[in-house]
Amino acid sequence: MNLPNRLTLLRILFVPLIVFFAIFPFSQYGISFGSILIGFVKIPGIHLIQLLIFVIASFTDFLDGYLARKNHLVSTFGKFMDPLADKLLVNTLFILFVMQGLVPVLAVMIMIWRDILVDGLRMLAAEKGKVMAAGYLGKLKTVVQMITIILILVSNLPFELYNLPVSTFMLWFSVVISVLSGIAYFRQLSHILLESI
């Protein structure tokens, strides 16, 4: 297995680590991560730990793509698994945010529905011998979602200090881009889908 694919697998392994820090009952064992107060905005310490893990995981996303292109190591495995690793990471965090009451469930449901439908289309295309890498809108979706996650983890700073709901705007912008990229995938693969009906 080449290095880019190993980095993709490493990104997947970061997902349960983030979940662990989100749901483990540290307080029952007398463990507290405290919080940081910036102005009147509080950032929970546990969010900063999740942010660190998320940033490292996101960097592997950039690095595996860069190394694959630079060293001509683009593989079928990478084309298929890289978008899945991104979705596992991003959707897991959004689900955790819903559990914590930080984001509305409808926004997250729409993004997950889109991902399920797109993955179904990609699997159908794979059966026909066509491996679909992430398109421009799909990559933009991931970037916007990652920015949204970072803003949520830092309690919308610095914008919260000026009462600007940028994290909320970015969340719904993520939803719009998700839907548009889903439509783009459908158009690209519609001929394969129609053949299967």
pLDDT one-digit tens code per residue, 73-118: 777 777 778 888 889 999 999 999 999 999 999 999 999 999 998 8
Each residue's pLDDT tens digit, 130-165: 766 667 888 899 899 999 999 999 999 999 999 999
- What is the model's pLDDT at position 17? 95
Rounded CA-CA distance 170/178 in Å is 12
- What is the model's pLDDT at position 18? 95
Query: Is the full-model pTM beyond 0.85?
Result: yes
Say if strands 35-38 and 41-44 run parallel, antiparallel, or are unpaired: antiparallel
Give 135-194 as a DSSP string: -HHHHHHHHHHHHHHHHHHTTTTTGGGGT--HHHHHHHHHHHHHHHHHHHHHHHHHHHHH
Rounded CA-CA distance 21/179 in Å is 30
Helix axis angle, 166-195 relative to 105-127, nearest 10°? 30
What does the domain layout of the chain look like in residue ranges?
3-195
- What is the model's pLDDT at position 134? 64
Q: Residue 16 is encoded by which pair of tokens?
A: 């349960």
Rounded mean pLDDT, 62-69 = 83
Among the residue ranges 26-30, 45-49, 120-124, 141-145, the one predicted with the least confidence is: 120-124
The SS3 assignment for 37 reads strand
Superfamily of chain region 3-195: CDP-alcohol phosphotransferase transmembrane (TM) domain (1.20.120.1760)
33 DSSP assignment? -
- What is the model's pLDDT at position 67? 83
Q: Say if residue 189's pLDDT is above 90.
A: no
Mean pLDDT of the chain: 89
* Ramachandran angles phi, psi of 129, nearest 5°: 85, 15
